[in-house]
Amino acid sequence: MITLPAVLTHAVASGFVRGLKQAVLAEPAEVVADASALQQFDSSALAVLLECRRQALAAGKAFSVRGAPARLHELASVYGVAKLIPAAAAATT
């Protein structure tokens, strides 16, 4: 699982993306981005998720997002990319 930081704005997004490819390659067949820690973010968070998705698909892996805040879903809808960042299936016990 790839955990997004609490702050993911334009000022920090490029630094986070630098290590993304290696993190994606280290994941098993499905790359899950955990967005539950996000507290302060802008549209750069969407760019990071889309890059994560691109890297996952390029590696032949599935991609999904867990714990995304409602505001992130709203941004994704406004930008027309909501279908590109699907929610992870709920864990079953």
Please report the pLDDT score of residue 89 as a whole number.
Answer: 76
40 lies in some domain = yes
Residue 93 covered by a domain: no
In a domain, 90, yes or no: no
Classify residue 11: in a domain, yes or no: yes
pLDDT tier, 75 (very low <50, low <70, confident <90, very high otherwise): very high
- Is the pLDDT at 63 greater than 50? The verdict is yes
pLDDT at 54: 96
Tally of structural domains, the chain: 1
CATH number at residue 55: 3.30.750.24
Least-confidence region, from 11-20, 65-74, 82-91:
82-91
The answer to whether position 91 is within a domain reads no
Is 68 a member of any domain?
yes
76 or 91, which is more confident: 76
The model carries a pTM of 0.91
Domain of 15 in residue numbering reads as 2-84
Starting at the edge strand found earlier in the chain, the sheet holding 30-34 runs: 2-3, 30-34, 62-66
Whether 52 is in a domain gets the answer yes
Determine, yes or no, domain membership for 92: no
Q: At what angle do helices 43-58 and 10-18 cross, to 10 degrees?
A: 20
